[in-house]
Amino acid sequence: MNENSEKRSKISEALWIGAGNMGLPMASNLISSNKIRLSVHNRTPGRLAPLEKAGARRSDDLSRSLSETTLVFTMLADDAAVSDVAERPGGILDKLPAGGIHVCMGTLSPTFVDMLSEKHQKKGQILVSAPVFGRPDRAKAGTLTIIAAGPTAALDSVEPLLKTMGSPVFRVGETPSRANTIKILGNFTLGGLLETLAESLTLARKVGVSPSQLVEILDTALYHSPVFRNYGQIMAEEKFEPAGFWMRLGLKDVRMVLREADKLDVPLPLGDILHAGFLAGIHRGYGEWDWAALGRVRDDDAGVSRKS
């Protein structure tokens, strides 16, 4: 074991940035594992109260906290949010010591992650990308599926911490953006399921078939899938709030897939349909509803009457 690997294996403290619907329960599980001491930072400090109560130390001075750690996790919504905290004066690129590891767990574009990885390398820092599959309930239960990519030694050192937040942890190579490609393709595939469900349930309502019963029958006969069942129930019961994943974030992910496909001249007809559907939903005021509200968009298009 070389000196850097040995140093990474002895990491005892880390900084966590991001306490949103996913970041809060993920950080909570990391704290409760007792594997590491955690400092926590969030743009809205009031959201950190549960983490402080669980034993984390609140970081108000981000620059100082970054300079005092060799490991930082970010769980932020998009490229812009990560870019802000990484590239600002006193941010991650500026203050994380050489040899430090940045574990980036949000759903980000592969192109952005490639650029961020290159900037970390120039600073002598290491980027590990570890986006997750799962909604807030799975984050709370510690059962997320995690896709991790980065240098092998860095993955070895952070994998035990990742396993406190989810299992399995799939290691997909040394290029960080590979994990992000898999993540956005997963969300694209799930978007296709939402579109199929939305159209089927709209037609069911028009002909008088019970949406809930249709979901039960299809899951029993064809899918045997908790993902199908859960999203089907959300659509059938029209329980779009509180959102597990906002529609506007679904639009962001579809746009990322389409941009990556455009670079390679790969046609994605379904991507165009999803893009139009999510955009229509946002214009109708559904942007912060669950992205399963695509079902409401298709009902609107078909003139399905709403419950009083």
Q: Based on the domain organization, do 151 and 237 belong to the same domain? A: no
Q: Are 219 and 119 within one domain?
A: no
Residues 152, 39 share a domain: yes
Q: Which of 163, 158, 161, 165 is nearest to 141 (CA)?
A: 165
Residue 286 lies in a domain: yes
Nearest to 117, CA basis, from 180, 70, 64: 180
Q: How many CA atoms lie within 13 A of 249 on its CB side?
A: 20
**Among 174, 197, 225, where does a domain finish?**
174
* Residue type, position 203, single letter: L
Give the end of a domain, one of 139, 174, 209. 174
- Are the beta carbons of 126 and 102 closer than 8 angstroms? yes
Task: Enter the tokens of residue 76.
Answer: 């932020």
**Cα–Cα nearest to 151, from 123, 185, 176, 115:** 176
pLDDT one-digit tens code per residue, 174-186: 999 999 999 999 9
| Residues 41 and 74 grouped into a single domain | yes
Residue type, 53: K
**Alpha carbons 149 and 152: distance in angstroms, whole number:** 8
| pLDDT, tens only, 176-217 | 999 999 999 999 999 999 999 999 999 999 999 999 999 999
* Strand boundaries in 71-165, DSSP class E: 71-74, 101-104, 126-129, 132-133, 144-148
**Are 8 and 157 in the same domain?**
yes
Residues of the chain by 3-state class (helix, strand, coil), percent to 5: 55, 15, 30
- From the candidates 7, 119, 140, 183, give the one annotated as an active-site residue: 183
Of the residues 174, 202, 226, which one is the last residue of a structural domain? 174
Instruction: Verify that 61 and 103 share a domain, yes or no.
Output: yes
Structural domain total, the chain? 2
Contact 42, 74 (CB under 8 A): no
221 and 166 share one domain? no
Supply the CATH number for residue 78's domain. 3.40.50.720
**pLDDT given for residue 156 in this prediction:** 96
Q: Which residues does the chain have with pLDDT short of 70?
A: 1-10, 307-308
**CA distances (Å), origin 230, targets 137, 149, 197, 244, 292:** 12, 29, 11, 11, 10
> What distances in angstroms separate CA 296 from CA 61, 271, 308, one per listed residue?
44, 19, 15
Say if residue 283 is in the same domain as residue 194.
Answer: yes
Do 93 and 123 lie in one domain? The reply is yes
pTM, entire model: 0.91
Same domain as 186, residue 170: no
Asked if residue 163 is part of any domain, the answer here is yes
In angstroms, rounded to a whole number, what is the distance separating the alpha carbons of residues 133 and 11?
A: 26
- What end-to-end distance do the CA atoms of the chain give, in Å? 67
The reported pLDDT for the residue numbered 221 is 98
Which pLDDT value is given to residue 8? 44
Pairing of strands 101-104, 132-133: unpaired
Full domain range(s) for residue 247: 181-302
The C-alpha angle with vertex 139 and arms to 11 and 186, in degrees rounded to 5, equals: 100
Task: Give pLDDT, residue 12.
Answer: 84
**237 shares its domain with 115:** no
User: Is 308 a member of any domain?
Assistant: no
Domain CATH number, residue 192: 1.10.1040.10
* 239 a catalytic residue: no
Question: Is the residue at 307 inside a domain?
Answer: no
DSSP β-bridge partners for residue 16? 40, 73
The answer on 162 and 209 residing in a single domain is no
Amino acid 252: pLDDT? 95
